[in-house]
Amino acid sequence: MSDEVKAEANSTMIRDTPESWEVIETKERFQGHIIRVVTDTVNMPRDEAAERDYVVHPGAVAVLALDGQDRVLMIRQYRHPTRHLLWELPAGIRDVAGEPLVAGAARELAEEAGYRADTWHTLVDLRTSPGMSDERIRVFLARDLTKIETDFVHRHEEIDMPVEWVPLADAVEKALMGMIHNSPAVAGILAAYAASAEGFAQLRPADAPEE
């Protein structure tokens, strides 16, 4: 087998795959407005059963909006658990039953930043903290942007939330320098920078299925 064929075979193996080990018992520890905390007793295939605590989360979507000057739209929001003002991408919880993910992303872009996008792609899918939560975030790339008027009323942390346009290359530098910490923002910025080298030709369509 040639080195090229071996490399291709090995690359196809590097892929997350579904797997579900037997759950002997589930105990609910907390029920909140958005999340639940549970403890599963999991039957380990080659060991004794073990308890695993985790957060059950509805999931979220985020939008890396890129304008014609290769600038990323970023917002700054107070995040109480971190005690920080974080620079982020427009994002929101998947809280509308049956809503396509890209439709939810378009709604968040309009509500949080006041923009509409005509071109959408799936940029990157994240499991934000798989050791303690089942949260999934899909980050979309949105282009061909138009400023729109919206009557959405911001509340709580979103009041007076600033919106800034950051050159993509500068955003990459800030992420690598530890100046941007929000995980979908960092992942989206780096993914967009990498994908731009191929003119975004390798990106999946906006309605690509989640695995």
Rounded (5°) CA angle 186-91-199: 55
pLDDT at 161: 85
pLDDT confidence of residue 151: 75
* Each residue's pLDDT expressed in tens, for the chain with a length of 211 residues: 566 655 555 666 899 999 999 999 999 999 999 999 999 999 999 889 999 999 999 999 999 999 999 999 999 999 999 999 999 999 999 999 999 999 999 999 999 999 999 999 999 999 999 999 999 999 999 999 999 988 777 788 777 789 999 999 999 999 999 999 999 999 999 999 999 999 999 999 999 999 8
CA dihedral 105, 106, 111, 115 (to 10 degrees): 130
DSSP one-letter string for 143-157? EEEEE----PPP-GG
List domains and CATH numbers for the chain: 23-56 (no CATH), 60-197 (3.90.79.10)
Please identify every residue annotated as catalytic.
Answer: 158
Residue 57: the pLDDT is: 97
Predicted pLDDT at 84: 96
Map residue 126 onto helix, strand or coil.
Answer: strand
Task: Give the global pTM.
Answer: 0.90
Nearest to 56 by CA among 114, 122, 129, 125: 129
Angle, helices 168-176 vs 183-196, to 10°: value is 130
